[in-house]
Structure 1
Amino acid sequence: MAEEMTADGFAPLRIRRVVRETSDAVSLVLDVPEHCMQRFRYQAGQFLTVRVSVDGRDLRRCYSMSSAPAEEELRITVKRDPGGVVSNWINDSAAEGDELRAAPPEGRFVLPKDVSEDEPLVAFAGGSGITPIMSLVRTALSESERPVRLFYANRGRGSVIFSGPLAHLAEQHADRLTVEHHYDEDGGVVTASAVTSFATPAGAGHYYVCGPAPFMDTVEAALLESGVAKQRLHLERFTIAEVPPGVTDDTDEQCEQVVIELDRQKVAAAYRQGETLLQTARQKGLKAPASCETGSCGTCMAKVVEGSARMRINDALDEDEVEEGWVLTCQSLPTSRKVHVVYE
């Protein structure tokens, strides 16, 4: 009998193939059990939350799919990260036949629906940020006639993930795909002028940005300054800088109590300064939903029904949702004496 998904939604996925992309990046092609197929259907740009045991520790990390749904396979790509326990374990030890546990795909870094065929997809990727971008590019090229422009920044030529596949796509879709490589070793880090120069021919398209924080900040600021509408700018952040305990804005009121409703439970907790609403929920033993914990996926969203909170990062909720009181609890710090949030 096939092993079922666990209570927290993780299923066993066997590694069918290991593909060495660069000296410090590897792709894993994963087999999904037949009884989980429907739940593991994904959209281009989404990610998996993977759970592995390393040195006796149960660890969870989010990795984007680099495959496209049309390819009928599930592939994640993981780059080695200095000090990254799971990414290094995958690069050093993951082998064909091994088993990973993963939760079903999530994420909002996806292609919009009902886009006209003449609206270009413009993507900016830095380093391993190419992973979800590659899925988006492959999908746009295979399922539409939209023009696609990709600006891909790396430290050097040896760091380029998917060098061969990108060259093949550029040749196969020479009339629609433009790829520009940037190497820091040649011209320094990416500048705002380089971003604007690449984006200008595209006009009113949809813009996707993924990569290291400084790269993303530069691209985001340049695109907004050049007139790109915020609703057409899509960001996927892999990591964030943590706010040290005790650090709040001068305008924040000292919070004393957080009330949380989840799964028909209602608990009250004394607030510990510097903790997010998600951390507070966990302190009370609640199994609050969460996945990326970088403000990108929306899994942890809850509604503030009393009091207020501010989000350090929000790359998942639109303006209407924020106005209605929704917050990403992984990124939210209370700004009133009492905050009451409801997970729905």
Structure 2
Amino acid sequence: MSRPPLFQRATVTRIVKESSDARTFVLAPHDGPFSYRAGQFCTFRVDVDGTELFRSYSMSSAPETDGELMTTVKRVPGGKVSNWLHDNVAEGDAVELTRPAGTFCLRPTSAPLLGFSGGSGITPILSLAKSALATTDRHVRLLCADRDHASVMFDAVLNELTERYPDRFSFVRHLDDRGGFLDAAAVRHFVGAEGEADSYLCGPEPFMALVESALPGPGRIFSERFGAVAPTVPSADAPDSEVEGTVSIVLGRKKVSVPRKANETLLESARRAGLTPPFSCESGNCATCIATVTEGSATMRVNDALSDDEVAEGYVLTCQAVPDTGSIKVRYE
């Protein structure tokens, strides 16, 4: 199985204002509809003032309920890509993005589904909720935390789901400007007797940490993080010491080799060699930095983007892949 080209073009057919600072981009991929699962995301590639930048944004659509592919972007103060998309992309324009990726998806189960969203974290949570309601008999409840009423997203869609599934769906809004920041007691009150539910979390890191620590269990917890710091791999070697072997990298027409360094990822090796490979989240989520290992092997610290089949074929996330003993050769897509 050969992996399709990483970046593809899509036309923005509509732009929907979701809140004062969030827009949904309705996309028509040039090479035909994307196949995806609820909860996944696409990574956009944009040129901002001559610099190529990458950012990942989740789908707010679900394949079982929406005939169009929709990804929602919240404007972030100082965020180069989100602001560029808001200020420069109009209906009819073409954008470049990856095919959907990610493992923040539903698992086969009859357990209730609890969704916890902070701000724009509602985007993949909404996708999951729509899919679960349309394809299963599961009960779904969402706790949506927002800064204020102006920042609320998808209110009409959530109210419509409440009307369509009155016995299986409900949601609670928590506005920080009225009730203060969400606390552990509020999380446990929301969970109630459904501690065995699957809990899906997406939002700012402090919000995620709070909810994770407050959930009573024993249900499973699934978290979607963009930009989180990946854990390090324990090693007896000093972090910057050279170890036996060479890292050889092919990127476009450039081919370079550098001595291996202990605990250094393939992405870090490529940068040290003077290359500028693509990357975005650096946390094993988005697959922007994907490459193929053509000789040798590497172990990924985190992999939330590649399937088992793709890993078996030699694909790695270079931001997470650390070479095993010996030399290694890698080719970027």
Q: TM-score, normalised by structure 1?
A: 0.77
Q: Any conservation in 2 of the 1:126–1:210 contact (CA below 8 Å)?
A: yes
Correspondence list, 1:258-269, <5 A: 259-260=246-247, 269=258
Distance verdict in 2 for CA 1:20–1:273, change over 3 Å: farther
Letter in 1 for 2:151: S
Tell me the equivalent position of 1:74. 69
Deviations 1:59-110 (A, max 9, x none): 2211110011021210010000111111011122211100001111100001
| Cα distance in structure 2, aligned partners of 1:107 and 1:308 | 19
Aligned residues: 315
Q: Which amino acid aligns with 2:270?
A: A
Aligned residue in 1 for 2:238: 253
> Percent same amino acid among aligned pairs?
43
Query: Matches of 1:95 and 1:11 in 2, distance apart?
Result: 18
* Residue number in structure 2 paired with 1:295: 284
Residue correspondence of structure 1 range 2-151 to structure 2 within 5 A: 8-33=5-30, 35-37=31-33, 40-70=34-64, 71-112=66-107, 114-116=108-110, 119-151=111-143
Could you tell me how far 1:284 is from its partner in structure 2?
A: 3.6
Q: In 1, are the aligned partners of 2:15 and 2:91 still within 8 Å (CA)?
A: yes
Which blocks of at least 5 consecutive residues in structure 2 are unaligned? 306-314
Structure whose residues are more often helix by fraction: 1
Please provide the CA RMSD for this pair. Answer: 3.9
2:160 counterpart residue number: 168
Q: What SS does the corresponding residue of 2:100 show, helix, strand or coil?
A: strand
The structure with higher relative contact order (CA 8 Å, sep 6+) is 2
CA drift of 1:152 comes to 0.5
How far did 1:14 drift?
Answer: 0.4
- The Cα shift of 1:228 comes to 3.2
Alignment of 1:287-326 (within 5 A): 292-297=281-286, 311=301, 314=302, 316=304
How far does the alpha carbon of each residue in 1:290-337 deviate from its partner, in whole angstroms, 9 at most, with x for none? 56423335675999x89999x5xx4739xxxxxxxx996525789x9x
Q: Measured at CA, do residues 201 and 270 of structure 1 come closer, stay the same or move farther in structure 2, by a change above 3 Å? A: same
Alignment of 1:173-322 (within 5 A): 173-223=165-215, 226-229=216-219, 232-240=220-228, 253-254=238-239, 255-257=241-243, 259-260=246-247, 269-270=258-259, 276-284=265-273, 292-297=281-286, 311=301, 314=302, 316=304
Q: What's the TM-score once normalised by structure 2's chain length?
A: 0.79
Structure 1 unaligned runs (5+)? 1-6, 318-325
Secondary structure of 1:105's counterpart equals coil
Residue identity opposite 1:240 in structure 2: A
Kept after mapping to 1: 8 A contact 2:249/2:257: no
Residues in 1 aligned to 2:46 and 2:165: alpha-carbon distance in whole angstroms: 38
SS in 1 for 2:99: strand
- Equivalent residue for 1:3? none
- CA distance in structure 1 between the partners assigned to 2:16 and 2:319 by the alignment: 33
Change (3 A) 1:283 1:203: same
Q: Report the Cα offset of residue 148 of structure 1.
A: 0.2
Counterparts of 1:308 and 1:98 in 2: how far apart (Å)?
A: 40
